[in-house]
Chain A
Amino acid sequence: MTCDEARILLHALLDNELDAGHAREVEAHIASCPACAAELSAQRDMQRVLADADLRYTAPASLRARIEASLPQPQPQRQQPSRRSVLRGFAMGSAVSALAASGVVALVLRQDDQQRILSEVVSAHLRSLQAGHLIDVVSTDQHTVKPWFNGKLDVAPPVIDLTAQGFTLVGGRLDYIDARAIGAVVYKRRQHVVNLFVSQTSNAEYRAPKTETMQGFNCRRWGNRGLNFWAVSDLAPDELAEFVDKFEAAMKG
């Protein structure tokens, strides 16, 4: 055996990957070659130091939750509202008496919950603007985008082509807001991207659109037909409002 061969095989020896025959050959070479013997002992030494160090990483709990949330869930939320969706019920102002009963604490929670979801929506929008992240299914055809969501979400978002109204449908994407998988439908006006995030809610009441601003993006949110909508874009507020009006008009039509 040459030194070149031994210097590769000694690693397999260290890792207990050699059969008895090859192991004997390597050991015989090492017994007669001080340089290779030194290399083996140096490598064994390094392996020992490495084994003592904790070099693994632990996945963040939020990542685990996101993956869990993306798996098909046995309990759809409308049957048994979680604590969080109850809070969201407060957030939408539907349970006025309950809100009054729980007083200031609930008010604070409501604010926090809303702000947190708004900030998650804006982050998701920002993330989507990075190259290659915008669209999972690329199509200007609503009949392609809509079925793509089926089976990926409990409730597929409405997909409407608004090209004639000045907002071009460019595709769809799965995203994660509030630790749940939700649908995002992507539109463009000129070079501006509009992400329309849609999630299911137990609250079927209509809630009028309202515009908020965060990190320079405008977000217009509203609720209708048991769905929450967030339209996020760097479009000016009046153009974003126009988008929402056109969308709602097309839904009615």
Chain B
Amino acid sequence: MPANDDLQKAQRFREAALPYLDDVYTLARYLLRDASDAEDAVQECYLRALKHFDSYRGPAMKPWLFAILRNVCNAEYARRAHRHSAIDDTPGAAEQTPIWQETEASPETEVLRSRDAGAIRKLIDALAEPFKETFVLREINNLSYREIAEAVGAPVGTVMSRLARARAMLRAAWTADEEQAR
């Protein structure tokens, strides 16, 4: 039978961390693009979070959980790399692409048509890391720039430029997609 302070700790952890389960799962789905891998990663994330809950000093629970999830996902990437010998995301190449080239082609007046969530998720899924992660944290998980910086361990300036590039790439992919559909 677990000791009493273990139970109290578990209860505090439950109240603090479980309300963010959907947020954590959402990020995992975008990062891993696979429902069952995401479930495994989220479960592992919560196990690790509980283990380190004693040393948690705040400030915000959400970025802290996201930071743990990222570590779990990185291990999963490494496992996939081992299995396939290459990850299909190539951050290096994307990082070198000039930021503005994507938008030059799109007419200024063009208005994006509303799309169903599935189509948009596909476009987001196709974004390269680390841009996708920053984008999802901001646009879907509603983190502030400072919280994103905490979660990903990068300066706020880096977060800002990654977000700008992520949105430029997403918009370019979106308009290209519409043109194809036309």
A interface residue numbers (CB < 8 A to B): 4, 7-12, 15, 17, 34-35, 38-39, 42-43, 45-47, 49-50, 52-60, 63-64, 66-68, 70-74, 76, 130-132, 151, 154, 174, 176
- What is the bound-complex CA distance between A52 and B14, given in angstroms? 31
Chain A residues near B24: list those with CB within 8 A: 59
Find the A residue at minimum CB distance from B23. Answer: A56
Chain A residue numbers with a CB within 8 Å of B124 are: 55
- Measured CB to CB, the nearest residue on chain A to B145 is A17
Give complex CA distance A207, B122 in Å.
Answer: 52
Q: Are B144 and A17 in contact (CB under 8 A)?
A: yes
User: A49 to B170, alpha carbons, bound, how many Å?
Assistant: 12
Nearest chain B residue, comparing its CB with the CB of A60 = B39
By the criterion CB–CB under 8 Å, are A55 and B120 in contact? Answer: yes
Q: Which of A12, A38, A50, A63 contacts B139 (CB 8 A)?
A: A50
Please measure, in the bound complex, the distance between the C-alpha atom of A73 and the C-alpha atom of B13, giving whole angstroms: 12
Q: What separation, in Å, do the CA atoms of A114 and B161 have in the docked complex? A: 55
- Whether A76 contacts B161 by the Cβ 8 Å rule is no
Q: B87 at the A/B interface (Cβ < 8 Å)?
A: no
Bound CA span A66–B39, Å: 10
Choose among B112, B140, B161 the residue that contacts A56 (Cβ–Cβ < 8 A): B140
Q: How far is the CA of A67 from the CA of B28 in the complex (A)?
A: 15
B41 CB to nearest A CB, Å: 10
In the complex the two chains form, is B120's CB within 8 Å of A50's CB? yes
Q: Which residues of B contact A (CB under 8 A)?
A: 1-2, 6-7, 9-10, 13-14, 18, 21-26, 29, 38-39, 42-43, 46-47, 50, 75, 79, 82-83, 99-100, 103, 106, 108-112, 114-117, 120-121, 124, 138-140, 144-145, 160-161, 163-164, 167-168, 170-171, 174
Of B1, B38, B115, B124, which is in contact with the most chain A CB atoms at under 10 Å from its CB?
B1
Q: Name the B residues within 8 Å of A8 (CB-CB).
A: 160-161, 164
Is A42 within 8 A of B106, CB to CB? yes
> Judging by beta carbons under 8 Å apart, are B145 and A15 in contact?
yes
Distance A43 CA – B6 CA, assembled complex (angstroms) = 49
Q: Is the CB of B167 within 8 A of A46?
A: yes
Provided the pairs A7-B100, A56-B22, A131-B83 are in contact, do residues A43 and B171 lie with their beta carbons within 8 angstroms?
yes
Q: Within 8 Å CB of A34, what residues of B?
A: 108
> How far, in whole Å, are A151 and B145 apart by their CA atoms in the complex?
38
Most B Cβ at <10 Å: residue of A7, A54, A67, A70? A67
